[in-house]
């Protein structure tokens, strides 16, 4: 920025405002810094009048109400009729500018201005720079219907409002303020660049209607959720670095964007996850650059193959789990069937033992032979039971005891 004191010696008329703006549009806005204004600056003198055309380059005086009045000599105004720079002048309010109705560029950077005022006469103004002041409210801009660039970065603004008449805005810079809600910008259908970095925004929303928005800078806020990005048909660059985004689900609308090509989310909790880059690339088929690193076609193919492999493994694991559950369900009634058969076999063996005992009593065989046959029957029953589940072992023991008791009874009768 050329200081007002040495402007005459270092004046550069080689670039017009249009050329400056075109050059700025060739790179992302967040890398541009503050756009310079190469304009004639007034140099405040003492309270003397310089209206006779023989005065110095500029002069200042006090207005009737104690407000500062700034004016330039006709020669200086004729040399640079469309631009005026009043940066670093210790201004606490916007001064009255006399005879400057043709201004197109006005610079108030690095002052202590608390309120925007005295701009109603500048209907041709297209560039207004109020960067680094103490403004806490956007106001006094209703007459500036031709304004294209509004720079209000590094102030004390807490709410976006007062922009209703600025429908031709192309660049709006509100970074470094205290804004907590993204609002009242839907009517800015021609806005191309919106800079809201370093504010206090938590949720991104209310973006419907911003058809021309190409670049949105939301770095260093408190954002945890993003909405409406998929409703911006021209958005190409989105900067979300150093916010509180925890998961891809909170920004899933990015994957539905029809135009988004450059994205930054470095410095967020999400970016610290192991599969962060693969997750973003697979979810955004149009993305060409992530965190200032190019996304190549080879990387996209590798990510796609990895995603397919993980999906296949997950599907196989799911099928295996289902098969395991089905197998368990099938085994349960089978074990019950074996237990039921074992009980039936044990009952038939007990009945056989009783018949053998009755037969032995009628034929009066030797007690040793009768005992042998009963022991054989018990062994047979035991062999059958051993083929069943472990859950039937107690039943086997009970059946053996019953067989032995029956055998003892038969021996007694003999």
pLDDT tens digits, residue range 338-377? 444 545 555 445 554 444 344 444 434 333 333 444 444 3
Helix H or strand E segment including 17: helix 17-24
The pLDDT > 70 percentage for the chain reads 60
Confidence of residue 28 (pLDDT cuts 50, 70, 90): very low
Higher-scoring residue by pLDDT: 161, 61: 161
| Other Cβ atoms within 10 Å of 258 Cβ, number | 11
Confidence of residue 307 (pLDDT cuts 50, 70, 90): confident
Judged against a pLDDT cut of 50, whether residue 51 lies above it is answered with no
* Cα–Cα dist 211/230, whole Å: 11
β-strand pairing of 171-173 with 193-195: parallel
Least confident of 48-52, 281-285, 328-332, 380-384: 48-52
Distance from the first to the final alpha carbon of the chain: 128
Confidence of residue 283 (pLDDT cuts 50, 70, 90): very high
pLDDT tens digits, residue range 112-141? 999 999 999 999 999 999 999 999 999 999
Confidence of residue 318 (pLDDT cuts 50, 70, 90): low
The label of the residue with tokens 């680094």 reads 132
Confidence of residue 95 (pLDDT cuts 50, 70, 90): very high
Least confident of 28-32, 133-137, 316-320: 28-32
Order across the sheet with 149-151: list the strands: 40-41, 83-85, 105-107, 127-129, 149-151, 171-173, 193-195, 215-217, 237-239, 262-264, 289-290, 293-294
The label of the residue with tokens 């609002």 reads 183
Q: State the average pLDDT over residues 256-261.
A: 96
Confidence of residue 11 (pLDDT cuts 50, 70, 90): very low
* Cα–Cα dist 267/292, whole Å: 13
Q: What pLDDT does residue 385 have? A: 42
Q: What pLDDT does residue 184 have? A: 96
pLDDT tens digits, residue range 194-219? 999 999 999 999 999 999 999 999 99
Q: Which among 285, 402, 414, 287 is positioned nearest to 360, based on CA atoms?
A: 414
Instruction: Tell me the backbone φ, ψ of residue 86, rounded to 5 degrees.
Output: -125, 45
Judged against a pLDDT cut of 90, whether residue 52 lies above it is answered with no
Q: What pLDDT does residue 319 have? A: 58
- CA-CA-CA-CA dihedral for 332, 337, 338, 339, to nearest 10: 90
Judged against a pLDDT cut of 70, whether residue 59 lies above it is answered with no
Higher-scoring residue by pLDDT: 393, 414: 393
| Other Cβ atoms within 10 Å of 154 Cβ, number | 21
Confidence of residue 150 (pLDDT cuts 50, 70, 90): very high
Distances (CA, A) of 370 to 177, 184, 347, 359, 403: 106, 105, 20, 9, 12
- In eight-state DSSP terms, residue 95 is P
Q: Are 400 and 385 in contact (CB under 8 A)?
A: no
Q: State the average pLDDT over residues 257-273.
A: 97
The DSSP line for 263-286 is EE-TTSTGGGSTTHHHHHHHH-TT
Mean of the per-residue pLDDT values of the chain: 74
Residue 295 burial class via C-beta count within 10 angstroms: exposed 0-12, middle 13-18, buried 19 and up: buried
Q: What pLDDT does residue 311 have? A: 77
* Cα–Cα dist 94/115, whole Å: 7
For each of the domains in the chain, give its residue range(s) and CATH number, in order of start: 81-308 (3.80.10.10)
Higher-scoring residue by pLDDT: 161, 391: 161
Q: State the average pLDDT over residues 175-194.
A: 97
- Best mean pLDDT range from 3-12, 229-238, 330-339, 374-383: 229-238
b (16+ CB within 10 A) / e for 5-17: eebeeeeeeeeeb
Q: State the average pLDDT over residues 9-15.
A: 36
User: Does the pTM exceed 0.75?
Assistant: no
Q: What pLDDT does residue 402 have? A: 54
Q: What pLDDT does residue 317 have? A: 63
């Amino acid at each position: 920025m050329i200081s007002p004191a040495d402007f005459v010696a270092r004046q550069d008329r080689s670039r017009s405002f249009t050329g400056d703006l075109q050059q700025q549009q060739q790179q992302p806005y967040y890398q541009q810094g503050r756009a310079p204004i190469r304009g004639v600056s007034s140099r405040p003198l003492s309270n003397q009048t310089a209206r006779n055309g023989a005065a110095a380059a500029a002069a200042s005086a006090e207005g009737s109400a104690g407000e500062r009045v700034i004016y330039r000599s006709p020669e200086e105004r004729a040399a640079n009729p469309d631009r005026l720079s009043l940066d670093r002048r210790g201004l606490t309010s916007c001064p009255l500018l006399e005879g400057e109705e043709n201004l197109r560029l006005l610079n108030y950077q690095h002052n202590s201005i608390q309120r925007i005022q005295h701009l109603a006469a500048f209907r041709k103004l297209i560039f207004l720079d109020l960067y680094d002041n103490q403004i806490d409210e956007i106001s006094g801009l209703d007459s500036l219907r031709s304004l294209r660039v509004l720079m209000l970065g590094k102030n004390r603004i807490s709410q976006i409002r007062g922009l209703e008449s600025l429908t031709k805005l192309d660049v709006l810079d509100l970074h470094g303020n205290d804004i907590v809600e993204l609002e009242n910008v839907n009517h800015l259908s021609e806005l191309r660049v919106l800079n809201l970095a370093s504010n206090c925004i938590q949720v991104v929303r209310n973006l419907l209607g911003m058809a021309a928005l190409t670049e949105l800078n939301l770095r260093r806020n408190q954002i945890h959720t993003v909405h409406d990005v998929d409703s911006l048909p021209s958005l190409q660059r989105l900067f979300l670095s150093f916010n509180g985004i925890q998961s891809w689900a909170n920004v899933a609308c990015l994957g539905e964007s029809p135009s988004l090509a450059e994205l930054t989310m470095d410095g967020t909790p999400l970016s610290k996850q192991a599969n962060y880059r693969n997750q973003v690339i697979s979810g955004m088929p149009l993305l060409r650059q992530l965190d200032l690193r190019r996304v190549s076609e080879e990387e996209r193919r590798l990510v796609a193959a990895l995603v397919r492999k993980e999906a296949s493994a997950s599907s196989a694991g799911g099928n295996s789990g289902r098969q395991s559950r089905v197998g368990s369900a099938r085994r349960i009634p089978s074990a019950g069937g074996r237990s039921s058969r074992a009980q039936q076999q044990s009952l038939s063996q007990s009945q056989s033992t009783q018949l053998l005992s009755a037969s032995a009593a009628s034929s009066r065989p030797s007690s040793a032979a009768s005992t042998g046959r009963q022991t054989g029957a018990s062994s047979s029953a035991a062999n059958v039971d051993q083929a069943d589940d472990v859950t039937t072992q107690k039943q086997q023991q009970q059946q053996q005891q019953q067989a032995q008791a029956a055998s003892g009874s038969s021996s007694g009768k003999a």
